[in-house]
Structure 1
Amino acid sequence: MNEYLLHDQSWNGPLIVAVQRAITETFTKSDWNEVGHLTGLHAYITGHKRLLRSLDWGDPDYSDCVFEVVTRMQHHNGQALALLIEHPKVLPLLEVSVPNHLHQLGISVGHVRAVTPSVCASEVVRRALTDADQLIETNGAQSAVDRLHTAMHGYLKAECAAASITISPDATLTQAFKALRTNHPALTNLGAHTTDVAKVLQSFASVLDALNTVRNHGSVAHPNEHLIEAPEAFLFVNAVRTLFHYLNNKLGH
């Protein structure tokens, strides 16, 4: 793990916040005792004036106490902070909220990497992709669904225009993908396993169709009462990122 980054205040803010939130949501007194013994900070943790007492009583200052302990680890014991990051209750939540930070630390995460916009990407697509990455880190994957929908929609329409493929100005996401997949010269040759690759691309058409529905009825794009859950939201994030990477490679960007 790159412990130098853990002390870089211009970089580590979102990571520290994510660690604090994960601990606040999941840790028990037993977890704190375990961390104390593993890090050599057992006396500090158990002797903290409020941490365990606030946890036991469900007091509102518990989250502030967690911040205090995490900050102490950050400044005085980088290995202890690294242990918190890789704790089995903390790491899965960090994989959802700050995957890019984990990647930069050298920790492998089970998510598709963020999309780097191609040089010919429109400003709308660039901005939407940037917004999506930032929202994933700060608010979770649910908040990024709408922006990824916008990015993919804009990207597909732009690629159709670049290849002189005519589509309606108000073409939907799925309509734009169908037009591109059917008419773009680079997508007419799918290699030695055309039939199987075509099946995968057809599956992605279904993904984009479902993304339309989730964006309208399960994301923060509208005042929806029932948002898509975080793991399912990341399923869509990963699927859209995967399609982005494939199309960028296939279309020569």
Structure 2
Amino acid sequence: MILNIRDALRDPSMSGKLMLALQRAVSDQFTQTDWEELGYETGEHDYITGHQRLMRSLYFGDEDYGACVFQALRYFADHNTATIEALLKRKKIRFALENDAPELLQGLGLTESHVPAMPSGSITASQVVERALADADHLLAKSGPISCIDRLHTALQGYLKELAVRAGVAVDDQASLTQLFKLLRASHPKFQHLGSQDKDIVRVLNSLSNVVDALNTIRNHASVAHPNDNLLDEAEAMLMVNVTRTLFHYLNAKV
């Protein structure tokens, strides 16, 4: 049972933490369907669908989406606290808060048994891959393959940079995804010997270089990373997701 939410929203020591934690959880987890369901459940459907930017910012992945979520949460806190209670009852929101703000849930008397999140700090390259693929799977289920492309692109770029740095390869902070993959192949010791079929594997890697270059372009011009009018079709978006997953798995096994 949800307890003391109204009191928490009136308490300056709790309200800010609660709003911030909810904003992060909703921004990361909520789909358009979730917003629609919340609206019908709480009587706030007209507000949610009539908000000037909320749904559009979610769909296009615009930078102001987080600010729009804050606006909605402040409205609910001021006009309909039952909506905040409804949010806290949703499994995906509770799951996110159990990982990111367990002390807040404890303060509200809402703590449940749950596997703890991975501790912050230095993590292995394998864990980077696991997290990136888990994030992509979550986005795939939530919003479809087109929503995965930006996450996979960002994760792959960071992963390639990390592999290069750990191998002592000098890296330009502004290096693109394509440049990083080329640098890694040319300079990382693990890629200097590719086994008995070296020439054929080089051909495969050359093809993957074209994939990486295409991923860079698609992310910028045909994904929700930017407000693009012409998005990639679902089948082609799924192709890019699967090819990028394959590259992740190969790099992780090789390095």
Return the TM-score normalized by structure 2. 0.50
Task: Return the alpha-carbon distance in structure 2 between the equivalents of residues 173 and 206 of structure 1.
Answer: 11
Deviation readout 1:7-66 (Å, 9 max, x if unpaired): xxxxxxx9xx9xxxxxxxxxxxxxxxxxxxxxxxxxxxxxxxxxxxxxxxxxxxxxxxxx
The correspondence for 1:247, drawn from 233, 247, 251, is 251
Q: Contact conserved, 2:125 with 2:163, CA < 8 A, in 1?
A: no
Partner of 1:208: 212
Deviation readout 1:73-123 (Å, 9 max, x if unpaired): xxxxxxxxxxxxxxxxxxxxxxxxxxxxxxxxxxxxxxxxxxxxxx51398
Q: Does 1:197 align with 2:201?
A: yes
Alignment of 1:126-145 (within 5 A): 128-145=132-149
129-138 or 205-214, which deviates more: 129-138
Partner of 1:218: 222
Report the number of matched residues.
136
Task: Return the alpha-carbon distance in structure 2 between the equivalents of residues 123 and 243 of structure 1.
Answer: 15
The correspondence for 1:148, drawn from 152, 156, 160, is 152
Alignment of 1:36-55 (within 5 A): none
Identity level (%) = 52
Partner of 2:185: 181
Alignment of 1:89-100 (within 5 A): none
Q: Does 1:227 align with 2:238?
A: no
Q: Contact conserved, 1:126 with 1:151, CA < 8 A, in 2?
A: no
Distance of aligned partners of 1:162 and 1:179 in 2 relative to their CA distance in 1, 3 Å threshold: same
Distance of aligned partners of 1:217 and 1:162 in 2 relative to their CA distance in 1, 3 Å threshold: same
- Partner SS state of residue 191, structure 1: coil
What amino acid is the match of 2:140?
Answer: I
What amino acid is the match of 1:170?
Answer: Q
Distance of aligned partners of 1:202 and 1:236 in 2 relative to their CA distance in 1, 3 Å threshold: same
The correspondence for 2:163, drawn from 148, 159, 162, is 159
- Partner SS state of residue 125, structure 2: coil
What amino acid is the match of 1:130?
Answer: A
Task: Return the alpha-carbon distance in structure 2 between the equivalents of residues 161 and 150 of structure 1.
Answer: 17
187-196 or 131-140, which deviates more: 131-140
Task: Return the alpha-carbon distance in structure 2 between the equivalents of residues 169 and 124 of structure 1.
Answer: 19
Q: Once superposed, what is the RMSD of the aligned Cα atoms?
A: 2.4
Q: Contact conserved, 2:129 with 2:252, CA < 8 A, in 1?
A: no
1:129 is displaced (CA, Å) by 3.7
Distance of aligned partners of 1:127 and 1:222 in 2 relative to their CA distance in 1, 3 Å threshold: farther
Deviation readout 1:148-195 (Å, 9 max, x if unpaired): 000100000000000001121110001111111111111111001111
What amino acid is the match of 2:253?
Answer: N
What amino acid is the match of 1:152?
Answer: L
Task: Return the alpha-carbon distance in structure 2 between the equivalents of residues 123 and 241 of structure 1.
Answer: 14
Q: Contact conserved, 1:173 with 1:208, CA < 8 A, in 2?
A: yes
Return the TM-score normalized by structure 1. 0.50
| Structure 1: gaps spanning 5 or more residues | 1-13, 18-118
Q: Does 1:237 align with 2:244?
A: no
What amino acid is the match of 2:211?
Answer: V
Task: Return the alpha-carbon distance in structure 2 between the equivalents of residues 184 and 227 of structure 1.
Answer: 35
Task: Return the alpha-carbon distance in structure 1 between the equivalents of residues 127 and 173 of structure 2.
Answer: 18
Alignment of 1:7-156 (within 5 A): 120-121=124-125, 128-156=132-160
